[in-house]
Every structure is written in C-alpha cells, then in structure tokens.
C-alpha cells in the first residue's frame, strides 16, 4: 500500500504544479472593482457629479487614462440616481463642469429594476433587488410511483430548460430590511394538531355557574336542614349517609339519595303525619353538590402552581387518565374533539363543570442521520426540517459520501416502510438553486448518506488484503526509486 501511495504522489505532484503555474499566469494583474457615483437630478446646467467614497483601494500604478463610460445599473434612491462605473478609479483631480455634463449625457437610467445588478453595498435598504430564484412549486419535476416505494426523479434544472444560476432574476429578498432575522409569520406547520403518544396536557377545571334546567337531586355527603313549624323538637341537620339515607327523630332511617328537596319534603310530611296531625315540614339545603366540590379538591393547585388543573400524559395505548371519569381515548383527536368528549363525560356525573385541555409539551420527535456524515446519530425535530438541514445537524457530509443517492426511509400511519432516493449533490455544491429533492422530513425518518464506489472498493481492499490475505501471508517488499530512475 505504501508503494501505491508513493506512485500516486509521483504522478499527481508534477501535474498539480503545472496547473497552479498555468492559473497564476492567466489570472488578471488586478481585479477591476466597480465604483459608485451619485448623480444629482436637475437641469443640465445645474448637474453635478459627486464621487462616493471608494469601496476598496484600486491599483494606483495605472498609467492608462480611465474610461468615462458609465453604465446605469441602479435606479432612483432618495431623489438621486445610483450608477455604476465599469472602469477603474477616476483621476484624483475633480472634474470640470464640461466633463460633468459630458458624463451626464452618457447616462441612461432604466425605468425598471429588472436589469439592476450589484449595488447591495449601499446597505439593507438599497433599492437594488437581490437576484436569485424564488422556488415556488416544482411543476416540471416528474414523480414516479412503484410498488412499495416512492421516489423523486433527480433531474437537474438545466435538463428541464431552466438552467442553473444563469436564469437568476430579482426576488423579494429583503422585505423586512434589518428585521430579516425575525422573518415572516409563514403558514402554520399543520392545519390541525392531533394528539399522539407521550403528548403532555394540562386540564383546567372551571365552574360554569349556569342554571340547570333540572332540579337538583341529593347526593351522598349533602347536608340538609329539616324543620317543623308546629313542633321544634323535630328540627335537625341531617347528612346523606353513604347508604343514601338520613336519620330523623321519630322516623329513624329515611331514604334521601336521588330525591329532590320537594320530593323529600312531601315524603317526610306524609311520614310525620303518623305522629303529628299537622307537621308542616320544610327541607332546606346547607351543603350540596359535594361531588363537584370533591372533584375540585382533587384538582386544586391553588397552593402549588395555581388554579384548578391536573396534568396528564397520553399513554402508549393512546388514552388519558382523569379523575371521576377514568380513561379517555385521545390518540388522533384534536384539542376541540378532546374537550367535547371530556365535557360530555363529566356532564353525566357533575353538572356545571367545564374542562379545558392545554397542550403543554409535544411528544419528542426525532430524525436519524447515518452513513457518511460527521456525527451520525439521533437528532430532535424542533421545527420543520429538510434533508439538507438534517445533514447539517449531523455536522455535514464526509468526503466520499454519495450525495447523488441519499436514501430516506419512512414509516407511514400504519408503520409500513417507505423509501425514496434523493439527489442533493448539486444543491450542496452550490450548483442547483432550486433542488427538487430537498424534501421535508417526518418524525422517525432515517436519512442515509451512502458511500461512493471508491470508498466501497477501499473497504473491500482493506478487508481482503490488509486484514485477510496479508494477515495470513505477510508480504514485505520495497522499491528503490533511485535505482529505477538511474535505469
């Protein structure tokens, strides 16, 4: 292997030296940089030409006279016209009035911004648009479907007649000026969010304070006051016991659970007539709706993080556990559907209660990047992420990674495997402004950057020769290049 490397060095080194020498001789002696001039608008007799400060220092040893040809490559800004001088630096002496008028006559300011080239050095509020591509849709990129897989044909834009960077035009780039770091609001990530396993929610409980259309019926734990207008000895405060009854004088145990106050009063009036001719019984509530109060006590956080709420997580079976109603299926429901389901269940047992679910934390979402990348591994999807962004999360691609055949594996809603093959070579090397294969990734996607054929061959040589053949039959030989050259 050392002999092979030395032979490669002997061949490559002279070729590299010749190539570097050729590029050095063909490079221009200096770079001609544009100069910006600002021409005041006005009558021809009042025209003045003022030179803006030099952007960069040009070669001061120039002996040829500078050119006076000025090309108008900008448009009106703040009442002035910005033009571009393609020639070298102007002479250090200020121009005469006749020279200024001659320069103004040669200026032709365009009416539109379409042929504006480069004046972004003026700052973020320059009137010159940024030139590039606005990739909206991909109508010319055919997609094919095959059994068990879905992939995109990686056809370069030049093959579709679009060219690459040659067809760049003005695009809306600096819409917010110096606020570009904030950017636009953009569209929502998804039309509606549906719950999934490991989503964490906070349920806030609130009393509706709305009148019920049905009369209240006594429950276990309610406290009432029974009074007689004719016999004060019968007055008593009674509590509905766990068996649903109350204890009264002369009567003993009387059923009260599930009765309204009017129904209980009529029943007691009839029973007491066996002992008193005119009992005149009244029943008044003292503490009622105890089931609701117990539920509120269960979710009471006023001495903790505040409010009346309870935390719940979607279990692997797709359900939530809530007090009084138990298990509620939440997998695949949106927030409104979950609220309606929970309110309907609580309404059956505790009227006058409203529950609001709040998504506190989404379930973690990951993308896996493997193969020829700097740091393979699992990465969290915290925002919309594309294939090139995922490779950037993994530290970029390694030399020898086959960017023409990047493979993405995905599981659908039923956990069936899908795969697509992408070509992002042109995009990552700055040749494709609108790569058709720059697709969005989903949770649990696997991005594979395979090896190129030369790396695969290197592995075969390493396994077969270095570890295999050389390991069994060690060979040691050397070549004396000095003797070979003398021959």
pLDDT of res. 387: 96
pLDDT of res. 200: 95
State the burial class of residue 442 (Cβ atoms within 10 Å of its Cβ: 0-12, 13-18, 19+). middle
- Among residues 65, 70, 64, the alpha carbon closest in space to that of 52 is found at 70
Top pLDDT among 120 and 372 is at 372
The length of the chain in residues reads 487
Question: pLDDT grade, residue 290 (50/70/90)?
Answer: confident
Top pLDDT among 138 and 395 is at 395
Q: 3-state class of 346 per DSSP?
A: helix
CA–CA distance, 403 with 430 (Å, rounded to integer)? 13
Domains and CATH numbers, the chain: 35-126 (no CATH), 200-211+292-361 (3.30.1950), 223-288 (3.30.1950.10), 366-454 (3.10.560.10)
CA distances (Å), origin 414, targets 224, 410, 411: 57, 11, 7
Of 12-21, 246-255, 346-355, which gets the smallest average pLDDT? 12-21
Residue with tokens 């790396």: 455
Mean pLDDT, residues 95-112 taken together: 46
274: left (phi > 0), else alpha (psi -120 to 50), else beta? Answer: alpha
> Residues with Cβ < 8 Å from 192, sequence gap 6 or more?
334
Of 80-84, 123-127, 435-439, which gets the smallest average pLDDT? 80-84
Please state, rounded to an integer, the average pLDDT across all residues of the chain: 74
Mean pLDDT, residues 24-43 taken together: 40
CA distances (Å), origin 284, targets 220, 235, 239, 287: 16, 11, 12, 10
Residue pair 52/38 in contact by the 8 Å Cβ criterion: yes
CA–CA distance, 3 with 10 (Å, rounded to integer)? 11
In this model, does residue 193 exceed pLDDT 60?
yes
In this model, does residue 361 exceed pLDDT 90?
yes
> 36: which strand partners?
84
Task: Give CA torsion, residues 91, 106, 170, 79, to 10 deg.
Answer: 80
Helix (H) or strand (E) holding 21: helix 2-26
In this model, does residue 116 exceed pLDDT 80?
no
pLDDT of res. 59: 41
Residue with tokens 């061949």: 11
CA–CA distance, 199 with 344 (Å, rounded to integer)? 22
pLDDT of res. 61: 42
Mean pLDDT, residues 258-264 taken together: 92
Mean pLDDT, residues 35-54 taken together: 38
Q: In what order do the strands lie in the sheet with 236-239?
A: 236-239, 223-228, 281-287
**Tell me: the pLDDT tens digits for 342-356?**
999 998 888 888 999
Question: pLDDT grade, residue 306 (50/70/90)?
Answer: low
pLDDT of res. 267: 92
CA distances (Å), origin 469, targets 1, 6, 330, 456: 13, 22, 61, 18
CB atoms closer than 10 angstroms to residue 398: 15
Candidate ranges 33-47, 94-108, 428-442, 467-481; pick with highest mean pLDDT? 428-442
Residue pair 207/353 in contact by the 8 Å Cβ criterion: yes
Write the DSSP symbol of residue 145: E
Backbone φ, ψ for residue 92 (5° rounding): -65, -25
Question: pLDDT grade, residue 18 (50/70/90)?
Answer: low
The separation between CA 250 and the C-alpha centre of its own chain, rounded to angstroms, equals 74
In this model, does residue 359 exceed pLDDT 50?
yes
Question: pLDDT grade, residue 168 (50/70/90)?
Answer: confident
pLDDT of res. 364: 94
In this model, does residue 319 exceed pLDDT 90?
yes
Q: 3-state class of 309 per DSSP?
A: strand
In this model, does residue 11 exceed pLDDT 60?
yes
Helix (H) or strand (E) holding 270: helix 261-272
pLDDT of res. 40: 38
Top pLDDT among 114 and 421 is at 421
> Residues with Cβ < 8 Å from 5, sequence gap 6 or more?
none
- Among residues 105, 153, 113, the alpha carbon closest in space to that of 130 is found at 113
In this model, does residue 153 exceed pLDDT 70?
no
pTM of model > 0.75? no
Using H for helix, E for strand and C for coil, what is the string for 388-440?
Answer: HHHHHHCCCECCCECHHHEEEEEECCCCCEEEEEECCHHHHCCCCCCCCCCCE
CA–CA distance, 334 with 194 (Å, rounded to integer)? 4
In this model, does residue 463 exceed pLDDT 60?
yes
pLDDT of res. 19: 59
In this model, does residue 466 exceed pLDDT 80?
no
> 313: which strand partners?
200
Of 81-90, 130-139, 323-332, 421-430, which gets the smallest average pLDDT? 81-90
CA–CA distance, 371 with 406 (Å, rounded to integer)? 10
CA atoms within 13 A on the CB side of 419: 8
Residue pair 224/286 in contact by the 8 Å Cβ criterion: yes
pLDDT of res. 481: 56
pLDDT of res. 377: 96
In this model, does residue 305 exceed pLDDT 80?
no
């Amino acid at each position: 292997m050392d002999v092979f490397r030395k032979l490669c060095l002997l061949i490559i080194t002279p070729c590299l030296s010749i190539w570097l020498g050729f590029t050095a001789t063909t490079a221009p002696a200096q770079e001609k940089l544009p100069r910006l001039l600002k021409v005041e608008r006005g009558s021809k007799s009042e025209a003045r030409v003022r030179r803006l400060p030099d952007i960069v220092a040009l070669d001061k040893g120039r002996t040829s006279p500078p050119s006076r040809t000025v090309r108008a490559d900008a448009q009106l800004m703040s009442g002035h016209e910005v033009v571009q001088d393609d020639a070298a630096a102007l002479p250090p002496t200020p121009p005469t009035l006749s020279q200024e008028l001659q320069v103004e006559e040669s200026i032709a300011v365009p009416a539109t911004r379409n042929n504006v080239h480069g004046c972004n050095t003026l700052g973020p509020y320059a009137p010159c648009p940024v030139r590039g591509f606005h990739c909206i849709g991909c109508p010319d990129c055919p997609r094919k479907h095959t059994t068990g897989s879905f992939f995109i044909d990686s056809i370069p834009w030049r093959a579709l007649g679009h060219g690459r960077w040659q067809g760049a035009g003005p695009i809306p780039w600096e819409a917010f000026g110096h606020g570009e770091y904030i950017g636009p609001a953009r569209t929502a990530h998804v039309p509606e969010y549906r719950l999934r396993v490991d989503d964490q929610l906070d349920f806030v409980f609130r009393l509706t304070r709305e009148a019920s259309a049905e009369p209240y019926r006594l429950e276990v734990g309610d406290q009432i006051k029974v009074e007689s207008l004719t016999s004060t000895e019968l007055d008593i405060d009674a509590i509905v016991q766990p068996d649903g009854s109350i204890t009264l004088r002369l009567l003993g145990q009387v059923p009260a659970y599930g009765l309204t106050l009017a129904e209980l009063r009529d029943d007691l009036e009839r029973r007491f007539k066996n002992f008193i001719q005119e009992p005149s019984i009244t029943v008044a509530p003292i503490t009622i709706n105890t089931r609701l109060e117990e539920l509120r006590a269960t979710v009471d956080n006023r001495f903790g993080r505040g409010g009346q709420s309870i935390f719940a997580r979607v279990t692997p079976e797709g359900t939530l556990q809530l007090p009084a109603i138990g298990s509620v299926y939440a997998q695949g429901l949106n927030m409104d559907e979950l609220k309606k389901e929970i309110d309907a269940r609580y309404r059956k047992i505790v009227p006058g209660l409203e529950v609001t679910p709040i998504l506190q934390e989404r379930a973690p979402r990951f993308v896996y990047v493997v193969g020829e990348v700097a740091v393979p591994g699992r990465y969290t999807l915290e925002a919309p992420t594309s294939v090139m962004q995922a490779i950037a999360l993994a530290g970029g691609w390694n030399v020898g990674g086959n960017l023409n055949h990047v493979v993405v594996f995905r599981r659908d809603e039923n956990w069936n495997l899908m795969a697509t093959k992408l070509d992002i070579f042109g995009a990552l090397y700055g040749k494709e402004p609108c790569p058709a294969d720059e697709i969005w990734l989903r949770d649990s996607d696997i991005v594979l950057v395979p090896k190129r054929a030369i790396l695969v061959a290197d592995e075969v040589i390493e396994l077969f020769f270095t570890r295999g053949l050389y390991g069994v039959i060690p060979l040691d030989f050397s070549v004396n290049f000095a003797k070979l050259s003398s021959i």
